[in-house]
């Protein structure tokens, strides 16, 4: 299992890809091209990725019920949890869990919920020093209602989570980072941050979330190296822009397929994996955990990121496996903020997960 674009998104359809018209037939790579027992835990001497995650920082109230009530109905609350949330904050915390360094950039209100969100991020090892506190707005609070099957609905206010702008991020912080990960935010902010990162030589990824078809994200989309989408968002983007996520021409696209895993699309081919069999209790944040796992693995590989993200699909076998494992861990976690670790990733993978990889290379 993998997850959706913003916390709470779930997805579901799948597959490899057909060769582009006029291209040679795809090459089906031997699934055993990944080591039989991939050494996922990084060596102590390996690079430690430094990431700025920019976007939403929320406070989540997660309510578990046996089933959602009918209109005018009532149901019993079986469990209630409060925790930090928001796509940028979730990815930043996940990267730290996997041994990376994270700075989160976004905005919260000058209220108790904002203070709690920042305190929790700091406790998780994320640097919240760049976060804007907007005293005139309330922190965005999301009420996530989860039924007995792990399906959910969400109630939210925008609050202060898009009060920040690109000019508020310290340029030295951005220049010192290896990577900028963008999530939901004002389109002009995303575009300006992506441009600044490009000027600093920093690689960029973008997970625009469920509003990708409704907001003018074109500039930010074209400025990013890696896009994270679920299948519905990928279809929406293909319909509303000149970018076809299923057959990208100049970037890498990670398409999350919910219970059916994920597929990584590149200009030179694809690699897909069906995910890991879990019993979901709450899919909130599963897509953010996937992004954290994918980036946490990919950014450590010089063959992937030196000189920009590789377009060889074979380079994304391990990042895809790690992303799917992290998404599965999050789906088994009650709140949007899963505790990720390399030990949990290996445990979730089990024996020889690479045997299910489907790799197609277009020459």
d(CA 362, CA 358): 13
d(CA 136, CA 235): 38
| Of the candidates 153, 226, 165, 225, the residue with the CA atom closest to the CA atom of residue 192 | 165
Both tokens of residue 288?
């953010």
d(CA 313, CA 311): 6
d(CA 265, CA 61): 35
Give the gyration radius of the chain's Cα atoms. Answer: 19
Among residues 10, 127, 225, 288, the one annotated as catalytic is 288
Sequence-ordered list of residues with C-beta below 8 angstroms from that of 22, at least 6 positions apart, any chain: none
d(CA 271, CA 237): 20
Determine how β-strand 58-65 pairs with β-strand 141-146. parallel
Sequence-ordered list of residues with C-beta below 8 angstroms from that of 347, at least 6 positions apart, any chain: none
d(CA 62, CA 281): 12
- Annotation says 288 is catalytic: yes
> How many CA atoms, within 13 angstroms, populate the side-chain half-sphere of residue 228?
34
Give the residue numbers marked as catalytic: 288
């Amino acid at each position: 299992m993998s997850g959706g674009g913003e916390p709470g998104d779930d997805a579901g359809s799948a597959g490899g890809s057909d060769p582009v018209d006029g291209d040679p037939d795809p090459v089906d790579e031997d699934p055993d091209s990944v080591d039989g027992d991939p050494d996922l835990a990084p060596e102590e001497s390996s690079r430690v990725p430094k990431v700025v995650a920019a976007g939403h920082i929320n406070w989540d109230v997660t309510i578990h019920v046996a089933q959602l009530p009918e209109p005018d109905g009532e149901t019993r609350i079986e469990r209630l949890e409060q925790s930090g949330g928001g796509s940028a904050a979730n990815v930043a915390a996940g990267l730290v869990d996997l041994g990376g360094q994270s700075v989160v950039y976004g905005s919260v209100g000058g209220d108790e919920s904002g203070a709690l969100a920042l305190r929790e991020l700091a406790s998780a090892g994320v640097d919240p020093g760049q976060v804007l506190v907007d005293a005139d707005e309330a922190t965005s609070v999301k009420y996530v209602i989860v039924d007995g099957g792990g399906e959910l609905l969400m109630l939210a206010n925008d609050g202060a989570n898009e009060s920040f702008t690109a000019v508020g991020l310290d340029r030295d912080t951005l220049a010192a980072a290896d990577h900028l990960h963008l999530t939901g935010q004002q389109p002009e902010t995303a575009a300006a941050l992506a441009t600044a990162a490009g000027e600093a030589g920093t690689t960029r990824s973008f997970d625009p979330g469920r509003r990708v078809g409704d907001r003018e994200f074109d500039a930010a989309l074209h400025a990013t190296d890696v896009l994270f989408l679920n299948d519905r968002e990928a279809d929406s983007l293909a319909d509303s822009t000149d970018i076809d996520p299923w057959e990208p021409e100049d970037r890498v696209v990670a398409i999350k397929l919910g219970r059916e895993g994920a597929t990584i699309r590149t200009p030179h081919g694809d690699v897909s994996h069906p995910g890991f069999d879990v019993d979901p209790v709450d899919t909130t944040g599963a897509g953010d955990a996937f992004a954290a796992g994918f980036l946490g693995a990919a950014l450590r590989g010089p063959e992937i990121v030196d000189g920009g993200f590789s377009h060889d699909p074979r380079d994304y076998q391990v990042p895809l496996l790690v992303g799917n494992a992290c998404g599965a861990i999050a789906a088994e976690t009650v709140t949007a903020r899963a505790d990720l670790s390399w030990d949990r990733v290996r445990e979730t993978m089990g024996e020889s997960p690479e045997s299910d990889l489907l790799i197609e290379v277009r020459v």
